Every structure is written in structure tokens, then in C-alpha cells.
């Protein structure tokens, strides 16, 4: 079967037109296009210190209180003595923690809850965590790695976090909370799990700025949900008052995350950004993320911008096979979902293929068709289909007051239909 790419750039079409007169661009300041810069990995002097030489307490098993280089000599099997405790806590700046290819893991019979694997205290800088595995053993670990408010210039590299689980709160393989200039690279945050109403995240950023996620994966994270539902996110950016901004997510994967709840909150999203600004998702893959198979109104989405997200971009990415299983007769699939409150965002050069669900499936879904304030360029959508065989690659409505723009949209729709018929492919606009 032949293939063809349809090029559609609405800003270039109407950039010089007075149609833009009704759009308020006054909020676009000089820092809108500021992007994260790569933090410099700090260097550390002195001899490495074995964690076993450190003091312990009931709530912190290994507490790093002074600058320097630290390592673990072998696997650490943890039996926590109290709830809400931390295995390794960094409470000093200028620290390098080398996990030394070893595994930190929770005893599967350990009854303590709310455990954190490695935690960086608030307002620290120049901390490196590298080279090892943190395994919650699907027992009671709430965060594999947590970085607290005000921390900056943090590097996390070559780590594998898996098996975080708790029944009583939200779970994240990696949680960055109000941090800046954090780089996470070449790391995996897979197979974490939540229950009841609580979300599970492979990676979650809250009000973070100028952070970089590069070559990271969020795979097989699972929300058990039950009757209350639980939303699953591969990589999630959350903001209050636009606080999550200027972050870059590059060459990352959100794959085969899923939920099995029986409530309408039983949804799964590969990549998610909410209420932030100037966040860039580049060369990422969202594959096979599935909402519940139970017959309720739920969805699976490859990417979703939400709330008042603005100035952000999805580019050069592959969005394939997301949605809900056919067994969910009310399930909906979205390759890329851009709600009507999202503005000034760019969706460019993406491949949106084979996203499917029983009820409805969309390649790109923009219900308000805000093509004046969001830019769609060179996106190829094909085979996004529901169980009845209806294909909706571009779910947009031409709801514009200008007859000129409506006419242009209709011409492009007609052109796409003609190309589809001639080449025996689907390029429905």
C-alpha cells in the first residue's frame, strides 16, 4: 500500500491575515521560548564512602549528611522498621551516590508502608544518583526516587526503578517535586502499580522548570483501579499556575501502560502535560497504552495536553496502537488529544497510526479546532479506527467565523479525500 504525507500549516496560511486580530497575544513574553539547558555533572573529590559506614535511624536506613562520594558494596535487602521511611536519604549538597550496579529491594514480607527508595532533601544542589536498581517488589514502596522542593542541578542516570506499589496513595517510579535543572537520562521506570482510586506514574514532575528527561522509559505501569478507577500515566507533567515549564522530554518511551478499573477514571495516557507552558516532547514513542477493557466510558491516549497548557510542542514522535480493548464497548482512543483550553501549542511531524477502540478512535483530536492558536504541521495519521470500521484520523471541526478560513479548510478536506481515493490510503482531514 502506498503512503503519502499531507502538509497543513494554518499559521503560515493565515499569518499575515487580519483573522489574527481577535487573538490576544499580549501574554506572550520574551521568555516563552526559553528551553532547558543541559546541567553540568558535578565532580567530587575524596575517597568513596561505603554506605554501611553511615548511621541509621528508624525512618532513614542510610543518611548521607556530608558532601562526598558514596557507594553500596552489594545488593541491599531492606526490612523497614517503620512506615513512611526512606532507604537512602541525601541531606547534603555536592554528593555522588553510586549504586554500583547493585539492587536495593524491599523484603516481600515487609509490612511497613510508604517506603521511598532514594530521596533528595529540599533545597540541595549538585547531587548525582547513578548505576543501579531500586525494586519495590510490588510491596509497599510509594516512590523509587523522590527529589524534593527547591533542589537543583540534580543528575539521575543509568537507574532502573520497578515494582513500586501501595494500596493507599499515588505511586511514582520517579517523583520530581518543584525542582529545577534536573537531568534524568538512560533510565527505566517500569512495572509500577497502584490500587483503588490512586494514580500511578512512571515519571511525574510537579511544578518543575528546565528539566531534561532523555532516553528514559515508562513501560508496563499498571493501575488496578477496581470499582473506583485509577488513571495511569507513563510520563506526567503537572502544574499549579503554570509552574511546570521549559522542560524537555527527548527520545523517551511510554509503552504498554494499562489499567483494569471499572470506573470512568480507568484511563491511560502515555505522555501528559497539564497547565504548564513551553514544554517540549521530541522524538518520543507512545505505544500500546490501554484504558480499561471493562465496558465503561474510558480512554487510552498517546499524548494529551490538558488544562491551560500553552506554548508546548509534540514533535517528531510516533504514536501507535493506543486506546481501549474491543471488549470495552464504550472505549475511546486518542493518538493526540488537544482540548479546547490548550493554546499556542505546536504539533509537528508526528506519525499517528493504528490507535483504536470499540466506540470511537481519533488520530488527532481537537474538538474546538483552534487552528488559529495551535499549529499543526506535517502530521501523518493513518488507520485510526473504531470497531465499526470508522476511521477518524483528524477529529477537528471547522468552527470559524471567517468564511475564508472555512473555505480553505473545506478545500483541504476535499483534497485529502481525493488523495485517499486515488492512492487507496486514508488521509481524511
- In order, the DSSP letters of 19-60 are GGGGS--TT--TTTT----PPPPP---S--EEGGGS---SSE
Rounded CA separation 184/191 (Å):
18
404 belongs to a structural domain: yes
Cβ within 8 Å of residue 321, ≥6 positions away: 287, 288, 353, 354, 355, 356
Task: State the Cα–Cα distance between residues 182 and 185, nearest whole angstrom.
Answer: 10
Q: Residue 248 is part of which domain span?
A: 10-423
* Residue 400 reports pLDDT greater than 90: no
User: In the predicted model, what is the mean pLDDT of residues 97-115?
Assistant: 84
pLDDT class of 426 with cuts at 50, 70, 90: very low
Q: Which of 218 and 378 is assigned the larger pLDDT?
A: 218
Residue 366 pLDDT greater than 60, yes or no: yes
Across 37-41, 165-169, 188-192, the highest mean pLDDT is recorded for: 188-192
What percent of the chain has a predicted confidence (pLDDT) above 90? 55
Tens of pLDDT along 367-397?
775 555 788 889 999 999 998 888 888 876 4
Distance of CA 373 to the CA centre of its chain: 23
Return the pLDDT at 112. 73
Instruction: With cut-offs at 50, 70 and 90, classify the pLDDT of residue 166.
Output: confident
Q: Using 50, 70 and 90 to split pLDDT, how confident is the model at 271?
A: very high
- Res. 243: pLDDT tops 50: yes
Please determine, for residue 210, whether its predicted confidence score (pLDDT) is greater than 90: yes
Q: What is the pLDDT of residue 103?
A: 95
Residue 5 lies in a domain: no
Three cell numbers, residue 90: 541525601
How does DSSP classify residue 421? Answer: H
Q: Residue 135 pLDDT more than 80? A: yes
* pLDDT average, residue stretch 292-305: 89
pLDDT computed for residue 157 by the predictor: 98
Q: Tell me how crowded residue 130 is: count the other CB atoms within 10 A of its CB.
A: 19
Weakest-pLDDT range from 50-64, 110-124, 400-414: 400-414
- With 90 as the cut, is the pLDDT of residue 137 above it? no
**The pLDDT of residue 28:** 32
Q: Provide the 8-state DSSP code for 404.
A: H
CA dihedral in degrees (397, 403, 408, 412; nearest 10)?
40
Strand spans (E) along 239-329: 248-250, 253-255, 258-259, 268-274, 280-282, 285-287, 290-291, 299-306, 313-315, 318-320, 323-324
DSSP three-state, residue 70: strand
Q: Given pLDDT bands bounded at 50, 70 and 90, which one contains residue 41?
A: low
- Please report, for the domain that includes residue 280, its CATH number: 2.160.20
Classify residue 4: in a domain, yes or no. no
In DSSP terms, 337 is beta-bridged to: 304, 365
Q: In the prediction, which pLDDT does 43 show?
A: 61
Residue 317 lies in a domain: yes
pTM of the predicted model as reported, rounded to 2 decimal places: 0.84
| Secondary structure (3-state) at 411 | helix
Q: How far apart are CA 143 and CA 117, in angstroms?
A: 6
- What dihedral do alpha carbons 333, 339, 343, 344 form, nearest 10°? 10
Residue 293 is placed in which grid cell?
477493557
pLDDT for residue 415 is more than 50: no
Q: What integer pLDDT is reported at residue 155 of this predicted model? A: 98
pLDDT > 80? residue 100: yes
Our CA angle for 360, 364, 365, nearest 5°, is 65
Poorest-confidence range of 211-215, 252-256, 384-388? 384-388
Domain membership flag for residue 429: no
pLDDT, mean of residues 319-333: 92
| Higher-pLDDT residue of 211, 401 | 211
301: cell is 491516549
Q: How many residues does the chain have?
A: 429
Q: Give 173's Cβ-side CA count (13 Å radius).
A: 33
- Domain-embedded: residue 334: yes
Evaluate whether residue 2 is within a structural domain: no
CA distance to 116, 210, 215, per residue, from 152 (Å): 20, 10, 20
| Total domains, the chain | 1
The answer to whether residue 247 scores a pLDDT higher than 80 is: yes
Answer whether residue 308 is part of any domain: yes
Residue 336 pLDDT > 90: yes
Pairing of strands 141-147, 115-120: parallel
427: confidence class by pLDDT, cuts 50, 70, 90: very low
pLDDT at 228 over 80: no
Amino acid at each position: 500500500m502506498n503512503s503519502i504525507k499531507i502538509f497543513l500549516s494554518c499559521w503560515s496560511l493565515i499569518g499575515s491575515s487580519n483573522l489574527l486580530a481577535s487573538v490576544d497575544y499580549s501574554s506572550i513574553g520574551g521568555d516563552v521560548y526559553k528551553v532547558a539547558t543541559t546541567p553540568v555533572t558535578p565532580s567530587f573529590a575524596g575517597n568513596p564512602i561505603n554506605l554501611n559506614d553511615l548511621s541509621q535511624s528508624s525512618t532513614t536506613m542510610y543518611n548521607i549528611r556530608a558532601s562526598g562520594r558514596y557507594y553500596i558494596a552489594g545488593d541491599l535487602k531492606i526490612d523497614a522498621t517503620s512506615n513512611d521511611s526512606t532507604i537512602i536519604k541525601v541531606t547534603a549538597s555536592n554528593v555522588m551516590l553510586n549504586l554500583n550496579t547493585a539492587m536495593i529491594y524491599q523484603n516481600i514480607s515487609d509490612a511497613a508502608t510508604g517506603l521511598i527508595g532514594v530521596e533528595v532533601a529540599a533545597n540541595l544542589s549538585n547531587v548525582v544518583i547513578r548505576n543501579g536498581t531500586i525494586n519495590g517488589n510490588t510491596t509497599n514502596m510509594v516512590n523509587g526516587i523522590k527529589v524534593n522542593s527547591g533542589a537543583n542541578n540534580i543528575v539521575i542516570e543509568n537507574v532502573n526503578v520497578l515494582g513500586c506499589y501501595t494500596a493507599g496513595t499515588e505511586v511514582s517510579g520517579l517523583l520530581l517535586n518543584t525542582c529545577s535543572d534536573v537531568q534524568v537520562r538512560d533510565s527505566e521506570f517500569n512495572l509500577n502499580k497502584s490500587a483503588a482510586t490512586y494514580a500511578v506514574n512512571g515519571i511525574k514532575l510537579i511544578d518543575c522548570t528546565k528539566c531534561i528527561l532523555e532516553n528514559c522509559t515508562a513501560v508496563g505501569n499498571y493501575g488496578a483501579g477496581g470499582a473506583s478507577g485509577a488513571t495511569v500515566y507513563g510520563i506526567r507533567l503537572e502544574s499549579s499556575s503554570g509552574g511546570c515549564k521549559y522542560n524537555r522530554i527527548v527520545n523517551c518511551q511510554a509503552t504498554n501502560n494499562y489499567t483494569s478499573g471499572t470506573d470512568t477514571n480507568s484511563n491511560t495516557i502515555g505522555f501528559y502535560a497539564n497547565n504548564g507552558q513551553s514544554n517540549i516532547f521530541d522524538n518520543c514513542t507512545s505505544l500500546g497504552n490501554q484504558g480499561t477493557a471493562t465496558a465503561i466510558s474510558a480512554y487510552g491516549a498517546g499524548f494529551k495536553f490538558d488544562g491551560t497548557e500553552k506554548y508546548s510542542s509534540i514533535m517528531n514522535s510516533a504514536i501507535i496502537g493506543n486506546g481501549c480493548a474491543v471488549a470495552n464497548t464504550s472505549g475511546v482512543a486518542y493518538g493526540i488529544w488537544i482540548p479546547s483550553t490548550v493554546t499556542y501549542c505546536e504539533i509537528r511531524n508526528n506519525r499517528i497510526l493504528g490507535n483504536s477502540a470499540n466506540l470511537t478512535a481519533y488520530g488527532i483530536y481537537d474538538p474546538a479546532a483552534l487552528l488559529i492558536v495551535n499549529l499543526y504541521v506535517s502530521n501523518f495519521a493513518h488507520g485510526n479506527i473504531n470497531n465499526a470500521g470508522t476511521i477518524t484520523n483528524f477529529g477537528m471541526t471547522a468552527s470559524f467565523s471567517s468564511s475564508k478560513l472555512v473555505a480553505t479548510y473545506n478545500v483541504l478536506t476535499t483534497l485529502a479525500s481525493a488523495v485517499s481515493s486515488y492512492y487507496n490510503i486514508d488521509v481524511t482531514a
